[in-house]
Amino acid sequence: FTNFVSAHQVSTNDAQALIDRAEAFKAGTPAPAHQPVYAANLFFENSTRTHTSFEMAERKLGLTVIPFDPGHSSVTKGETLRDTIKTLAAIGINIAVIRHPEDTYYEQLLDVSPTLAMVNAGDGAGQHPSQMMLDLMTIHEEFGDFTGLKIGIVGDLSHSRVAHSDADMLTRLGAQVMFSGPKQWFSPEYQQFGPYVPLQELVPQVDVLMLLRVQLERFNNNENAAFSKESYHAQYGVTEQLAQTMKPSAIFMHPAPVNRDVELASVLVDGPQSRIFTQMHNGVFMRMAMLEAVMQARHFGAVPAHSLNH
């Protein structure tokens, strides 16, 4: 992975190797020593988990993290994203972790510098590869395999970069993916991965119920005025009553932040079938594995090679 930007570049073998490496880090395998490598995290959209988790992963790997605050950067003076990345490369940044509201922003940056790698921390409604990989790790930890697992992805499909990345990879790994939520959000692009199933029919059959946040900040004024949290929860949310129809072995996942009592009854977020905070915990180890794979591909820090070979 000379850059890690999309689910499309991850083969099923890559996914399994990254899961194995992340699980080894979680089990206590130390990060190999290396020469200095410099990382900057550029978040042009707000984030709690992804930003903090990447920084934690970078520090656990022994990278030097150089702060970057978009609000106090020269982007506010009109400097382009491309010039910003070119500047960071000139200064000596090796890895730029970027979140940006524009879909596929990274395509215009792939040729900026041979000495700077990009890791996509989320582009608009496009891709969220690190969330995808930590989701795979969490499912793998729980079930050991993906083949034949029934996975329901429910909620704001139209704005979800998580759904785009996860549906693609989970299908390739042999899981049976199904979708639910407001039907108008089930766009034709999802039909290649699986069917739309009404929520009451979906919930009792799935092994994993993956709920998506309603992204109110991306709604226009009319959509915001028409939206009712209570009626969404009653129609498309998982209530305590509906959750009782789940298989006892089934789990809830959610990329978070969660709109409690909208996508999922608040008590279920912290309940025994929730893996939402496990996902966040796993994200640190998975991001270590992803950053390490990029460093190896670029020969940054002369890291000793392991099984990943790109």
Name the binding residues for L-aspartate: 77, 161, 213
Least distance from ligand CP to the Cβ atom of residue 207, Å: 21
Q: Which is nearer to ligand CP, 86 or 260 (CB)?
A: 260
Residues 6 or more apart in contact with residue 104 via CB below 8 angstroms: 123, 124, 126
Question: How far lies 262's CA from each of 64, 107, 185, 229, in Å?
Answer: 39, 35, 16, 6
Distance from C-alpha of 229 to C-alpha of 209, rounded to nearest angstrom: 20
Is residue 273 a contact partner of residue 243, using CB atoms and an 8 Å limit?
yes
CB of 304 to ligand CP, least distance (A): 31
CB nearer to ligand CP: pick between 99 and 298: 99
Cβ closer to ligand CP: 131 or 180? 131
- Chain residues that interact with ligand CP, rule: CB under 6 A: 47-51, 122, 131, 255-257
Torsion of CA 189, 139, 275, 308, to 10 degrees: -100
Looking at the Cβ atoms of 101 and 257, the one nearer to ligand CP is: 257
Per the DSSP assignment, residues forming a β-bridge with 211 are 154
Binding positions for carbamoyl phosphate = 49-50, 99, 128, 131, 256-257
Select from 40, 13, 52, 18 the least CA-distant residue to 290: 18
CB contact at 8 A, 112 and 147: no
> Rounded to whole angstroms, how far apart are CA atoms 198 and 182?
9
Q: How far apart are CA 169 and CA 54, in angstroms?
A: 21
By C-beta, is 165 or 180 nearer to ligand CP?
A: 165
Q: Shortest Cβ distance from residue 129 to ligand CP (Å)? A: 11
CA 235 to chain centre: 26
Numbered residues of the known binding site: 49-50, 77, 99, 128, 131, 161, 213, 256-257
Rounded to the nearest whole angstrom, what is the least distance from the CB of residue 128 to ligand CP in the complex? 6
Q: Shortest Cβ distance from residue 255 to ligand CP (Å)?
A: 4
Please, what is the minimum distance in Å from the beta carbon of residue 125 to ligand CP? 13
Classify residue 149 by its DSSP letter.
-
- The phi, psi pair for 90, rounded to 5°, reads -65, -35
- DSSP letters along 55-78, please? HHHHHHHTPEEPP--GGGSGGGGT
Least distance between ligand CP and beta carbon 92 (Å): 26
Paired residues of 274 in beta bridges: 252
| Nearer Cβ to ligand CP (217/240) | 217
Rounded Cα distance between 226 and 222, Å, is: 6
Of 51 and 229, CB closest to ligand CP: 51
